[in-house]
Amino acid sequence: MIKLIDLGAEYGRIKSEIDEGIREIVEAQQFTDGGHIGRFEEEFSKYLGVKNCVGVSSGSTALDLALLALGIGEGDEVIVPSFTFIATAEAVSHVGAIPVFADSDYDTQNIDVDKLKPLLTGKTKAIIPVHLYGNPCDMDGLMDFAREYELKVVEDAAQAQGAVYNGRKVSTIGDVGCFSFYPAKNLGAYGHAGAAVTDDDELAEKIRLLSNHGRRTHYAYKMVGYNYRMDSIQAKVLSIKLTHLKEWNERRRKLADIYTESLKDLPMGLPKRDDDKIPVYHLYIIRTDRREKLVEWLKERGIETRIHYPLPLHLQPAYGHLGYVEGDLPVSERLAREVLSLPLHPYLEEDKVHTVIESVREFFS
């Protein structure tokens, strides 16, 4: 069986570091404090080149807090891609605002900056670009657009730890960047965790307060907040794994390049690699209108695949009340019909990548 991702293989390589780190916390009974969270926040800020990092309970809560801290709320509209994981849009709904779904670019699978203007209304307050699959969005165009119309920008970098756009790590370009450290992410915790990052000290302070019951001191509350804090075991695991992230992302790029080089003559879409972007291949995605048959073909050969994502958000029942119909966002709908994720993780052996390549080539022959 060739797995899509293999967290067990990763654990095998860093077992002694992880076991020791977790034991240290359990023995000291420092489950929610002990400086581990602050340490990770500092290390991650330094890695990204950003002033502030607030560790939180998940990528979803990071997005919620970013919008709350920016003052987005009831009656506001926020532009989000339809072709993404639902948490991007849910955050908008959680603060009482309305998600306005934008179509994506077929080649990059990211929000199509050229299609944003018609979505603007007097209520538009923000835009959430998602660096989908670890591939940076066209941030220059997006930031120009946001500045022209005075929109806040929250980067959803949940899938893009370490990805670079024009020399800057994604998440540090907009007003706030949000990360998920869901276990399967390039930098993954051993449970749920996330972070919000920003150069704006005031915004960071607000996010921190909101994430911790609006608490100034132990029983003094400045505002009504939430318990969206990160815990110590997650912070420790993330600190350990962060020291490996550069090498892991490089390995992902190497394997992705092997896929691309070996599949490029086949009649299907492959990830596009622009000169101004360094992607981190959270997922390696191909596009084909023969997807269902290919899934079966690979499954019969012991190769695991998955579809990220089979239905765009504007057609999800959860957003039925917004009144979108099929055909409204044709590129998102086409991507949902065609995308397929092939196995990719830092500990995937090259001979297994070649087995996948041979099976895909055989399918198209």
Ligand X SMILES: Cc1ncc(COP(=O)(O)O)c(C=O)c1O
Stretch that binds ligand X, among 14-22, 56-64, 199-207, 319-327 (CB under 6 A): 56-64
Kindly write down the DSSP assignment for every residue of 137-205, as one continuous string: P-HHHHHHHHHHTT-EEEEE-TT-TT-EETTEETTSSSSEEEEE--TTSSS--SS--EEEEES-HHHHH
The least distance separating ligand X from the CB of residue 159, rounded to whole angstroms, comes to: 5
161 binds ligand X (CB under 6 A): no
Q: How many CA atoms lie within 13 A of 218 on its CB side?
A: 0
Cβ-proximal residue to ligand X, closest one = 59
Q: How far is the C-alpha of 131 from the C-alpha of 177, rounded, in Å?
A: 11
Q: Is the peptide bond before 182 cis (omega within 30 degrees of 0)?
A: no
Which residue in the set 60, 124, 135, 186 belongs to the binding site for ligand X (CB under 6 A)? 60
59 binds ligand X (CB under 6 A): yes
User: Would you say 60 or 104 has its CB closer to ligand X?
Assistant: 60
Give the helix ranges, DSSP H, for 276-346.
Answer: 291-300, 330-338
State how beta strands 152-156 and 176-180 pair: parallel
Annotate each residue in 182-211 with x if it binds ligand X (CB under 6 A) or - if it does not, as one string. Answer: x---------x-x-----------------
Q: How far is the C-alpha of 182 from the C-alpha of 177, rounded, in Å?
A: 16
The least distance separating ligand X from the CB of residue 47, rounded to whole angstroms, comes to: 18
52 binds ligand X (CB under 6 A): no
Q: What is the 3-state secondary structure (H, E, C) of 239-295?
A: HHHHHHHHHHHHHHHHHHHHHHHHHCCCCCECCCCCCCEECCCCCEEEECCCHHHHH
Catalytic site includes residue 299: no
Which residue in the set 87, 142, 153, 195 belongs to the binding site for ligand X (CB under 6 A)? 87
- Determine how many CB atoms are found less than 10 A away from the CB of residue 320: 10
User: Would you say 192 or 277 has its CB closer to ligand X?
Assistant: 192
Please give the size of the binding site for ligand X, defined by CB under 6 A: 15
96, 101, 107, 109 alpha-carbon torsion, rounded to 10°? 30
User: Would you say 186 or 359 has its CB closer to ligand X?
Assistant: 186
313 binds ligand X (CB under 6 A): no
User: Would you say 112 or 156 has its CB closer to ligand X?
Assistant: 156
332 binds ligand X (CB under 6 A): no
Q: Of these residues, 125, 185, 236, 241, which one is catalytic? A: 185
Stretch that binds ligand X, among 83-91, 93-101, 163-171, 205-213 (CB under 6 A): 83-91
Which residue in the set 104, 124, 161, 180 belongs to the binding site for ligand X (CB under 6 A)? 180
The answer to whether the beta carbons of residues 112 and 102 sit under 8 Å apart is yes
| Binding region for ligand X (CB under 6 A) | 58-60, 84-85, 87-88, 130, 156, 158-159, 180, 182, 192, 194
Which active-site residues does the annotation give? 185
